[in-house]
Chain A
Amino acid sequence: MVFQSWNFIVFLFVVIGVHSLTRSHWRWLILLLASYFFYGLTGWAPLILLWVTTIWTFQIGSVLGNLKDQSKRYRILLVSVFFQVGLLGIFKYLGFFESLIQALLHLFHQPSMAQWHHFILPLGISFYTFQSMGYVFDVYYKIRKPEAHMGHYALFVSFFPQIQSGPIGRSKKMLPQFGNIPNLTMGQFRFYCTLFIWGLMKKLVIADRLGNYIDPIYSQPSAHGAWVWSWTLALYTFQLYADFSAYSDMARAIAGFLGIEIPENFLYPYKANNVTDFWRRWHLSLSGWLRDYIYTPVLFAFKKYKEGAIVLAIIITFVICGIWHGPKMTFVIFGFTQALLLLFEYLTKEKRAAVQSKLPTGFYQSFSVLLTFITISFCFILFRAENMSETQTILSEFSNWSMAPFKSYLAEKNLSRLLGIILMIVMFVLSEERVEKKLRSESIAPTWQTLFVMMVLVLIGIAGVLGKDEFIYFQF
């Protein structure tokens, strides 16, 4: 059930209705039942897996909270991590490992193995596994006490606005909210309505419309030439951002309607002036999780290797980041490429600062933003391509800089429509930060807010692409 479907809207209205009629300290129960109903629609097996994860991590948290012996606590943490990563591995990565083994057998001229049994990927497993692992880490590092209320914890793992694609919540911020869920004020209600509509606009008007220009090129990747591909890669970067940030905005709005605050996921990533900065702005809930629970422990565990520790920590973190996105070699290489770029930036920090000091600030800043955008767009080939051979096909297209394919592309796609797309992206980039800051302030006049919502709805009516149900990040 996707957020923009009528089924979901009806479901949400029912939940909000029952939720608002319930006493504030019992609202968690309504939300838990609604979350299990919502997730249960994907099948019994995924729901049982969700319960297993919930009960396991809750119990591990309790044990860790009561133990004083640090070495025992460490061993229990390891067991917990192995169990959860194992579950994730079985359901998400079995096929990947099988294909790796088959490739190795093929390389050494050995007969292929019989095919393993493959499970259907449970929806949102990467998100709720990381969220519940984060809770275990928080208890281990004594950032929080173990949760005493099993119901609140179950809701933390399964909360329906975020279970499909995050944002990955933190126990310290989310769990305290479930004890006493307040009524919504009129100002908050208006704010979350506007946020939902804004997210819907990003999805239907920007992401899905851009998809119409991207999908045909990816479905037939050869013979387009470098110019068409450069344009498509730029569009895909905006599409990915618009799609995922739309989902995040809508998830935040839905959680907000139910009195729960969940974290924001983006910080205008196309304004990043280097790749390091990009990762401080992109998918904040995942990059924050990786920084706190992978990068930092690895960095300090290997600190005796000095610079080597940084290299190791960055590579491990970003390879995990890549693998988290899916069981494909393209994601592993995507993560590794990001690690190399970050290391390059770390190692050339002083030289780049020297160059910066010799150039006009405005020029250096604009050039850095453009270069970062191009670099990230190029890396996203790995993110979108189905496999390595498709990636190679796309890369080989960059040896053909002839204008002929681009001219025929322009003729086919209608120049005025393409100009419309460019105008739409420019308008979006220029206005987004200002609009979102206004929305966040909650201090705008109701009339202005209503007018804004009406305008956005009209825009959706005119330019929205209906019928595409899925968000890109559902596959992860």
Chain B
Amino acid sequence: MRKTWLVALTEYSNAVRSKAFITGVLALPVLICLSVGLQYFGQKNVDIRERRFAVVDRTGVLFPVIAAKAAERNEKFVTQRGADGRSVQTSPKFLPELFDPAGTGGGNADVVLSERVRREELTGFVIINTNALSADGGAEDGMSWFTQTHTYSELPDWLERTINEEIRRMRFEKAGLDQALVRKLTRNVPIKRLGLSKVDAATGRVVKAKEMNRFATFAVPAGCVFLLYMMVMSATPVLLNTVLEEKMQKISEVLLSAVTPFQLMMGKLLGATMVSFTLSALYLGCISGMLWKMGVLNLVPPTLIPWFVFFQLLSLLIFGSIFLAIGSVCSEIRDAQSFMFPVMMLVMLPFFVFMPIMQSPGSSFARWFSLFPPATPMLLLLRIAIPPGPPWWEIALGVALTTLFMFGCVWAGAKIFRIGILAQGQAPSFGKLLAWIFSK
């Protein structure tokens, strides 16, 4: 045990002194800051060039409304008052122009206007068909938006909203209905999302249900799974590289003259586990501090932390021993890639089924996937983090199966590692690896 511990401490010390660790510690906060910063920068640096567009109004009545609404928008909503009291333009102005197809000299309107769009005189043009006002629709129903920059959606969205509001108003007016009354009658009724009420056993009083918080129901479970994934990925694939490097540089031979292959493997696994727990302690500490500062720390159930730590340990031992075994059987990084693919699929599996399980954590789909041992740590943690959590027997079964699977992975990994670490030449086939696992 002393030698295993010595290997673990050296691995840990090497890892935390490396640039990769410092990069790993800073990666998440830097990514978050970059993402927030770039979004803020993007919002502050909107393209405010005028958006000129043509309207082919076959109804003959909608263009004046479009022009009026655009003018109103340009006046009221395009500029905002900044912190220093000055007006700042935050959105582009929309400048409509009526296009009369009769003026094309017999040419096709959409072809003529398309040319103008290509020459960048216009952002695009809209054709409003004759029957757009009709409540019954018909052959010439609807509108069409033509542009060469379909990724820009603010203008067509505004057009669709504005024209439809006007068309609805016209239809109600034609039907003789009062607009104010229509608005009243069609008012949306909001729905409150609440938890469950209960009777306090001590006082016998009813405790009213609390309003559910989006942060608690979505951000906490998703954040837990994402953090667990980060912790596993930051510590386990590195094991493959270190073993491969030691094998290529013949360091493993020196080490094996002093320790057994099992001591070496367990030392490395323990070292990686310590690195990962150091990272998670740093992250959890910082995140808790941030949440406390934001006043939402109480929305994180305290029982989640021990579950997180437990599932992190299981994941590290499972994937760590798999990556160590792969590293030991390869003689160059190219060999390792063919083994990496199926393992990465297993690591990524929880993300493929993440959304359906978030939507319906009690479904049989969620149950069976969260009982599949390689995915259990992340998916069972996800289900535990979503109130009210899975039944106790599912948690117990998941924990038991995954613990057994973990022992199986460590055992098989050690058998492969023992032979692979001194093997030279081409990497063995999967069949040969199986033979190594069951060899004496």
Is A bound to B? no
Contacts from A to B (Cβ < 8 Å): none
